[in-house]
């Protein structure tokens, strides 16, 4: 366990030290400020939306477009990037199993994504208070972001698995994007298939914020998310363990 903690801390530190972190945070600020300005202009023109509607627009942009791209870039950088440059060899010489190394890298990306979510959640809450939406709305916005971190974990594990079946980071990015687009298309046009897609539960926050809480829906969502994580981790870790560097 101590070996895993050290590996996780090392990978997490490496992720945060990259220049992309500053770029990502800058993009986050621009998006949140831009949406806040759009919200002000909409209200001034007489077009008002409810709390859930206000959250939904920014939530959709961040969790369905921006954050997945962050995940794909970080995963490909940690796996295919290090494999192609053979930097992974410096990690493999440590007295730790490959499975723990794989898990440490994936968890490091999860930690980075959680930090991004907290950053954008706090920033969004402050902006919505500033534009007069009230403290209650700000709290709901922040809570919606925290809730959505759970389904995003499954996307991290799926992306990590995809990184094990390619040798090129760009190809891995394209496969991840095609996978996500395919999931969005299935959700929109094949209702039966959408029940088995974890992305369907990105909007789980709406159930909780509107008070329409259904225990069956929550347990079903957690089961689907856990299934994606379990299958993706098992397959990815097995492939990583068999690779030759």
Give the integer Cα–Cα distance in Å for 54 and 156: 27
CA–CA dist 13, 112 (Å, integer)? 10
In terms of Cα–Cα distance, which of 15, 1, 13, 235 is closest to 97? 1
pLDDT at 121: 87
> Could you tell me if 205 and 141 are in contact, meaning their C-beta atoms sit under 8 angstroms apart?
no
The predicted structure's pLDDT at residue 212: 65
Dist. CA 243–CA 237, nearest whole Å:
10
* pLDDT-flagged residues of the chain (< 70): 42-56, 85-86, 132-134, 205-214, 217, 245
* Residue 50 pLDDT: 47
The torsion angles phi and psi of 226, rounded to 5 degrees, stand at -65, -35
Q: Which pTM does this prediction carry?
A: 0.88
Answer yes or no: are the C-beta atoms of 142 and 124 closer than 8 Å: yes
Closest CA to 83 of 69, 103, 102, 68: 102
């Amino acid at each position: 366990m101590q070996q895993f903690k050290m590996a996780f801390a090392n990978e997490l530190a490496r992720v945060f030290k990259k220049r992309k972190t500053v770029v990502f945070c800058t993009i986050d600020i621009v998006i949140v400020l831009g949406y806040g300005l759009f919200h002000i202009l909409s209200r001034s023109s007489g077009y008002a939306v409810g709390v859930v509607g206000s959250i939904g627009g920014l939530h959709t942009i961040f969790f369905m477009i921006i954050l997945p791209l962050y995940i794909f870039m970080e995963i490909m950088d940690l796996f295919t990037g290090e494999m192609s440059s053979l930097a992974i060899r410096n990690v493999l010489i440590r007295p730790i199993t490959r499975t723990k190394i794989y898990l440490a890298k994936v968890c490091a990306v999860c930690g980075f994504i959680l930090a991004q979510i907290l950053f954008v959640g706090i920033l969004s809450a402050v902006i919505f208070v500033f534009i007069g939406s009230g403290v209650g709305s700000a709290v709901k916005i922040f809570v919606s972001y925290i809730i959505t971190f759970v389904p995003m974990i499954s996307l991290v594990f799926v992306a990590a698995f995809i990184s094990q079946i390619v040798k090129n980071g760009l190809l891995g990015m394209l496969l991840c994007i095609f996978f996500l687009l395919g999931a969005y298309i299935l959700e929109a046009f094949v209702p039966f298939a959408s029940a088995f897609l974890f992305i369907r539960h990105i909007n789980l926050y709406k159930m909780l914020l509107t008070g329409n809480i259904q225990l069956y829906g929550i347990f079903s969502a957690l089961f689907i998310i856990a299934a994606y994580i379990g299958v993706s981790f098992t397959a990815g870790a097995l492939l990583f363990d068999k690779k030759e560097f």
